[in-house]
Amino acid sequence: MTRVVLSIGSNLGDRLARLQSVVDGLGEAVVAVSPVYETDPWGRVEQAPFLNAALIAEDPAYDGQGWLRRAQEFERAAGRVRGERWGPRTLDVDLIACYGDTELVVREPNLTLPHPLAHLRAFVMVPWLAIEPDARLTVAEGPRRVAQLLAELEPADRAAVRPSGLTLELKGRHS
């Protein structure tokens, strides 16, 4: 079984509907989805706030490259145009970590796993911890608890990730 942690975000158009499109598109593969957070933009580009969430999905048919193709399909379907780095976007779907029997380490021209900047982004770690409180992520020093990595960020970075009160639906499932 291949398991992936995805970070999804949008700050253009119907932000919530764009996030929901990923959950809907993955269907039964989704095993957990976080609450939705509103976050200040990351980087140096002036732009509107993002809606962000994290999800965990499982599908034995996908490896890291397969998950990347799926992520890029969702972005294309949402009209994503790759323009300015860290600029506004209709939909951003990032692979944060991928697991087979262990966490996959991938260093390829189009894919680096685990995501090399995830541990610096509160908008990734806060939603991830909401659905997997014991999450671990491999960084330069080795595997670390995501909660500890988040605690090491500046308080302003953590404060920039706020509960929105919005949720994403796992359609066709009973709680």
Return the beta strands (E) in 17-172 as ranges: 30-33, 37-39, 50-58, 92-99, 106-108, 111-113, 136-139, 142-145, 161-163
Choose the catalytic residue: 3, 15, 70, 80. 80
Could you tell me the two tokens for 73?
A: 């399909």
Could you tell me the two tokens for 94?
A: 């990032």
Residue 59 among the catalytic residues? no
Choose the catalytic residue: 15, 70, 92, 121. 92
Choose the catalytic residue: 18, 70, 89, 121. 89
Could you tell me the two tokens for 23?
A: 């959950």
- Cβ neighbors of 155 (< 8 A, separation 6 or more) are none
Residue 63 among the catalytic residues? no
Choose the catalytic residue: 94, 136, 145, 173. 94
Length of the chain in terms of residues written: 175
What sign results for the dihedral spanned by CA atoms 37, 4, 62, 111?
A: positive
Residue 80 among the catalytic residues? yes
Residue 70 among the catalytic residues? no
Residues with catalytic function? 80, 89, 92, 94
